[in-house]
Amino acid sequence: MFDRRQLLVGFGAMTAASMMPNALEAAGKVTADRNSVLLVVDVQNCFLPGGSLAVKDGDKVVPVINAIAKKFTHVVLTQDWHTPGHISFASSHGGKKPFDTTDVAYGKQVLWPDHCVMGTEGAALSKDLAIPHAQLVLRKGYEKAVDSYSAFTEADGKTTTGLAGYLKARKLQRIFIAGLATDFCVAWSALDARKAGFETYVIEDACRGIDTQGSLAKAWSDMTKAGVKRIKSGDLAA
């Protein structure tokens, strides 16, 4: 016969387990369930070795992303998609050079080499990405007079891309972010995801940063303060 004390202890353990998101997460793993989406940010030729704004070791995120994407039912890709003469290009500002800053209508703008000009090979997604089940490719930064690092909100802080509405309409609640670059488009997307109410993870080894003037450390600090969770690809379970 069951001992009454043992039975009560057993019920207590079952109750505690039921309160956890899932058993795997209790063991230090995070599950990519059907309410989760992988957001792959700007894995484009301009940001890869040989590109006009190459991120160091940017190509090394591709096999990691391809592997983790298999664990997700839902995947969204983003593309920087700039006009010629875009406001974020140093070449659009007389006397300025790449990585300088300038004041624009919506605040401080870092100036970059010309990159990801719409319709060019540099703007194309890496040919080595292998995510055939991706359901949406979202283009951002196509307004000539405003930049858009974030996949959710343009740099003016008020114009949305519609991504939050898309994800909420599909009842996707947890966002896992990978891509380029950690300290700019990845971080801004993660911060805006939190503002929109999503549980947000950044997969560290599936990202690479530019790290100009301490930008990488600041990005991680800002994300941590906002409640973004920092994980590695090995922490993911299907």
Catalytic residues: 42, 140, 185
Distance CA 60, CA 133 (A): 21
- The answer to whether the beta carbons of residues 109 and 119 sit under 8 Å apart is no
| Nearest residue to 160 via CA among 181, 145, 177, 138 | 138
Q: Provide the Cα torsion 231, 132, 187, 81; round to 10°.
A: 170
CA neighbours closer than 13 Å in the CB half-sphere of residue 15: 6
Q: How many CB atoms lie within 10 A of CB 231?
A: 17
Q: Estimate to the nearest angstrom the gap between the alpha carbon of 161 and the chain centroid.
A: 14
Q: Which residues contact 97 (CB under 8 A, 6 or more apart)?
A: 90, 111
| Nearest residue to 226 via CA among 199, 186, 180, 191 | 191
N- to C-terminal Cα separation, the chain: 39
